[in-house]
Amino acid sequence: MSRSRTSAAKDAASIPACARAARYPAAVPKPLRSDAARNRDKLLVAATQVLAEGGLDAPLEHIARRAGVSIGTLYNHFPTREALLGAVLPQRLAALDEIITVALADPDPWAGFTGFLEGLFTLHAEDHSLNDALAESFSPATDMSQVCHRGFGDVERIIERAKVSGRLRADFGPQDLVTLIWAMSQVIRKSMGTDPGAWRRPLSFFLDGLRAEAAHPLPGEHHRS
């Protein structure tokens, strides 16, 4: 019943942005007996914890064990891994909404831009499943015009505000953000177990290079404004 990390992560990262991309949007739970409802709640809590620790491919048996129920009970509530992810990930991804809202409300567009990136990568570092989902959605091959992701229109506004302010280099665009997200997700993935905060140093280097005053002409035509 397991899926490859790449396949599951691509689906997860699209929740719940567009109907054509949402393979398993959050389901409305059916009315349950009180004992069944308690088991479902315990499974959701356990799944959030286990997926955060082990990523999208964390064994479902570990989730059932953490919840104190049988694997059969887990499958009664969530017949597939996708069903379970559809119940857990939308709520976790909703944390992006607050980060985006705070960034757009910041009177300093550069601070809003850097605050958005720091908040985004903090989420990555705190939750293996989110890092898996977002990393696989935003890969180097991702065509930004095809990305169907929660709140990405607002993220483009965050970028544009910083550019208009003159603080963010003018040739930085959404496609460059895709590459940055992918690169930082790899740093986070490799250092989670040994130094969870290791990503902050390379992010500082990236941000220094994105300042308008530090900009130099870029080689080739691979970047997009």
Q: Which CATH number goes with the domain that contains 52?
A: 1.10.357.10
Enumerate residues 6+ apart whose C-beta is below 8 A from 148.
Answer: 14, 17, 18, 20, 21
Residue 146 has a pLDDT of 44
| Residue 74 burial (CB count, 10 A) | 22
| Residue 152 burial (CB count, 10 A) | 18
Residues 123 and 61 in one domain: no
In 3D space, the residue among 71, 20, 28, 13 whose CA is nearest the CA of residue 47 turns out to be 71
- Which domain covers residue 83, as residue numbers? 5-92
Residue 5 has a pLDDT of 40
Residues 78 and 113 in one domain: no
Residues 116 and 176 in one domain: yes
Residue where a domain terminates, one of 64, 92, 120: 92
Q: Point out which residues pair with 168 in neighbouring strands.
A: 211
**What would the mean pLDDT of 111-132 be, rounded to a whole number?**
90
Percent of the chain with pLDDT over 70: 75
Percent of the chain with pLDDT over 90: 40
Above 90 in pLDDT, residue 27?
A: no
What own/partner pairs with CB < 8 Å and gap ≥ 24 does 140-146 have? 140/178, 140/179, 140/182, 142/178, 142/182, 144/173, 144/174, 144/175, 144/178, 144/224
Residues 108 and 151 in one domain: yes
**Domain for residue 116, yes or no?**
yes
Residue with token string 């990305």: 147
Residue where a domain terminates, one of 67, 92, 117: 92
**Domain for residue 171, yes or no?**
yes
Residues 177 and 124 in one domain: yes
Tell me the two tokens of residue 159. 């970028």
Higher-confidence position of 89 and 169: 169
Residues 42 and 127 in one domain: no
**What would the mean pLDDT of 83-103 be, rounded to a whole number?**
84
Number of domains present in the structure of the chain:
2
- Do residues 139 and 182 touch, judged by C-beta distance below 8 A? yes
In this prediction the pTM is: 0.70
In 3D space, the residue among 115, 113, 120, 119 whose CA is nearest the CA of residue 166 turns out to be 113
Enumerate residues 6+ apart whose C-beta is below 8 A from 21.
Answer: 11, 14, 148
Q: What is the pLDDT of residues 127-180, one digit of tens each?
A: 888 888 776 655 444 444 444 455 568 889 999 999 999 999 999 998 898 889
Give the C-alpha separation, 172 to 169, whole Å.
6
Residues 163 and 180 in one domain: yes
Residue 145 has a pLDDT of 43
Residue 220 has a pLDDT of 63
Higher-confidence position of 189 and 225: 189
Residues 102 and 65 in one domain: no
What own/partner pairs with CB < 8 Å and gap ≥ 24 does 183-188 have? 184/121, 184/124, 185/124, 185/131, 185/134, 185/135, 185/138, 186/135, 188/121, 188/124, 188/125, 188/131
